[in-house]
Structure 1
Amino acid sequence: MKELKLGVIGMSDGNGHPYSWSAIFNGFNDAYMKDCPFPVIPDYLSKQSFPEDSIFEGKVSYIWTQDKEISKHVAKSSNIEHIVEHYPDMIGQVDGILLARDDYEHHLEISEPFLKAGLPIYIDKPIAINKKQANKIFSLQKYKGQIFTCSALGYAKEFQLTDKMKTEIGNLEYVEACIMKSWEKYSIHIIEPVLKIIGDQGEIKLVNKTISNNKHIITYTWDSHLVTTISTLGESPSPIKIRLFGSKGYKELVFEDTFYAFKKALQHFINIIKKEDPPINQGFVMKVVDMIERGLES
């Protein structure tokens, strides 16, 4: 299959994905990337070897952001050839879209022309913060698997349990996970890996909420009697961490390798386009959205 041409769409406040996602495909220009407004990005990119560590099957060829000067800087930093005036201008020019913005309130509006055109699209997390909006976006799919959406932390190597670890933990009895920043945008980063770790626990039968000062501590009790607590801590410094308490032992998992997680997620999107991997599980996505929605203040 020929190299896929991709278009990237940005920016949203506090989110540097157009720089990093594009660089994972294209490599980067250090002279410009050093001025990236998100210093963590050039830091972790500099630890990789390019082009060896890039994704070879695709290239980000087009970019749109709401600010032409930002578009120019991202393009120079991440070796993107074309800047478009309007994001629908990418239709007919690319094989897939990276909607690299986490302002979920604009996901429907921005994704709609691409979905109607039949282009596969990676929609940054969260696709929506309520089931009604998520279903509206999914209803625009022309075919199963047209939409890819996730938290890249669901692919983090730190959150993958080996058989040995599962044996040491025993039957899960309690899980807690925490992350900085807002519930709406960041809870998904720990909800997804937690759901992948715990597997099918039935339905949520009870939700307890403590919400104060931009801190959300939400406890879910499942049919299986497993209890999981998901916390977003606002501006309080916190590592991204999952703690597992089992009948035999305890494990603490701490996220560290951003590049690995982003690359794995982007590679999965490419593999779906190439029909090498099955589409994402829409039911899983809706379960994640349901947990986000249940954690919001009434």
Structure 2
Amino acid sequence: MVTRVGMLGMSDGNGHPFSFSAIINGYSDNGMRHSGWPGIYDYVRRRHGSEFGVGDLRVTHAWTQDAEQTAALCRATSIPHAVSSPTDMLGVVEAVIIARDDHASHRPLAMPFLEAGIPVFIDKPLTLDLDELRWFTPYLESGLLMSCSGMRYAKELDAWRAGQIDHGEMRLVRGTIVNDWERYGVHLLDAILPLMPSRPISVSALPAAHDSLIVVMGDGVPVHIDALGQVPAMFRVELMSSHHISCFDITDNFSMFRRTLWAFWRQIVDGHPAIPAVETVDVIRTLIAGKLALQNRKEVSLGGFDNLL
């Protein structure tokens, strides 16, 4: 038995269609070498063959906005069918992965599949629009939709996630990342918020040349996130507490993507959300609040969003 998966879309600078498809299907060495994604080729060829494959998933159909890019994706990851339109996959595939990180494309691409009852994974960030979030929420709650950053599953955070470090009383959490808040803040929110004992209540922008924000949690603990812009790759989480100071540099993209895809497969099989809907909603509401805080230079309360969901 094979669960046929459609891979949809491509964004500038984002090779997730190649990463995700390779993790599920395996890859052609020659095809991946000439795919135009040397970083992805480098990390997949360092993995053991046993690390490829996700349950009974198989990417069987692909579409991107460019036919040549679709053909390269199919060659690199052994996808048998390139289609000319996303809706050509309706009635053919049993699940869809929307591997674009330009959030404005997400609802139009996802709508035909969600309305047809086909499970969908949407790359981060799900949306930056509260009305769209309200539209997506029932699908998150029903287990038909999953969306997150792979950093939610980063193996570097396993010791914190498992409670193996006695941190004591938490004083400050810091996250540092490349690029900007709107596209990359979601990485750190997905990494940090699920591990906090309370939910976010407000976001404020700090004076800086880059995007710098403070997320205040319900128990008063501040989460300080800096998106540094164009700097060398950096994905760091620091936890300062009464008993222990921890610093986690997140570098293993392959493992986090593989774990994410396994979680999506389990959601398809079980029919239940792999991530509680409230956690996804909290991440996206915090991302939107941060955007408003940067625009207006005022504290934005998440309580003001409650009547919109």
With normalisation by structure 2, the TM-score equals: 0.89
Tell me by how many angstroms 1:91 deviates: 0.6
Alignment correspondent of 1:90: 89
Tell me by how many angstroms 1:291 deviates: 1.1
1:199 counterpart SS class: coil
Native 8 Å contact 2:4 2:94 kept in 1: yes
Tell me by how many angstroms 1:76 deviates: 0.3
Native 8 Å contact 1:179 1:239 kept in 2: yes
Tell me by how many angstroms 1:195 deviates: 0.6
Alignment correspondent of 2:175: 177
2 CA distance for matches of 1:87 and 1:133?
20
Tell me by how many angstroms 1:70 deviates: 0.4
2 CA distance for matches of 1:34 and 1:126?
28
1 CA distance for matches of 2:4 and 2:219?
45
Alignment correspondent of 1:40: 39
Q: Match for 2:242 among 238, 247, 250? A: 247
The aligned amino acid for 2:156 is E
**For the structure 1 residues 112 and 183, does the alpha-carbon distance in structure 2 shift closer, same or farther, using more than 3 Å as the test?**
same
Tell me by how many angstroms 1:52 deviates: 4.9
Alignment correspondent of 1:163: 163
1 CA distance for matches of 2:141 and 2:288?
26
Tell me by how many angstroms 1:10 deviates: 1.6
Note the 1:14-25 alignment, pairs <5 A.
14-25=13-24
The aligned amino acid for 1:208 is S
Alignment correspondent of 2:205: 209
**For the structure 1 residues 37 and 199, does the alpha-carbon distance in structure 2 shift closer, same or farther, using more than 3 Å as the test?**
farther
Q: What percentage of residue pairs aligned between the two structures are identical? A: 29
Structure 2 unmatched ranges of 5 or more: 296-309
Q: Does 1:138 align with 2:141?
A: no
User: What are the Cα deviations for residues 73-113 of structure 1, in whole angstroms up to 9, with x where unaligned?
Assistant: 00000100000111000011111000010010110111111
Q: Does 1:227 align with 2:225?
A: no
1 CA distance for matches of 2:63 and 2:200?
41
2 CA distance for matches of 1:190 and 1:225?
19
Native 8 Å contact 1:144 1:279 kept in 2: no
Q: Which runs of 4+ in 1 moved over 6 A?
A: none
Alignment correspondent of 2:145: 147
Alignment correspondent of 2:299: none
Tell me by how many angstroms 1:238 deviates: 4.4
2 CA distance for matches of 1:107 and 1:28?
26
Tell me by how many angstroms 1:221 deviates: 2.1
Alignment correspondent of 1:58: 57
User: What are the Cα deviations for residues 149-193 of structure 1, in whole angstroms up to 9, with x where unaligned?
Assistant: 11111001101214331x1x2111100001101211111111111
Native 8 Å contact 2:146 2:273 kept in 1: no
1:274 counterpart SS class: helix
Alignment correspondent of 2:79: 80
Tell me by how many angstroms 1:143 deviates: 7.7
**For the structure 1 residues 252 and 279, does the alpha-carbon distance in structure 2 shift closer, same or farther, using more than 3 Å as the test?**
closer
User: What are the Cα deviations for residues 223-247 of structure 1, in whole angstroms up to 9, with x where unaligned?
Assistant: 3121111111110224200000001
Structure 1 unmatched ranges of 5 or more: none
With normalisation by structure 1, the TM-score equals: 0.92
Native 8 Å contact 2:170 2:221 kept in 1: yes
Alignment correspondent of 1:69: 68
1:114 counterpart SS class: helix
**For the structure 1 residues 105 and 250, does the alpha-carbon distance in structure 2 shift closer, same or farther, using more than 3 Å as the test?**
same
Native 8 Å contact 2:62 2:82 kept in 1: yes
Please, what is the CA RMSD of the aligned residues? 1.8
Native 8 Å contact 1:180 1:235 kept in 2: yes
The aligned amino acid for 1:33 is M
**For the structure 1 residues 142 and 177, does the alpha-carbon distance in structure 2 shift closer, same or farther, using more than 3 Å as the test?**
closer
2:189 counterpart SS class: helix
Aligned length: 291
Q: Match for 1:193 among 191, 194, 197? A: 191
**For the structure 1 residues 52 and 221, does the alpha-carbon distance in structure 2 shift closer, same or farther, using more than 3 Å as the test?**
closer
**For the structure 1 residues 164 and 271, does the alpha-carbon distance in structure 2 shift closer, same or farther, using more than 3 Å as the test?**
closer
1:92 counterpart SS class: coil
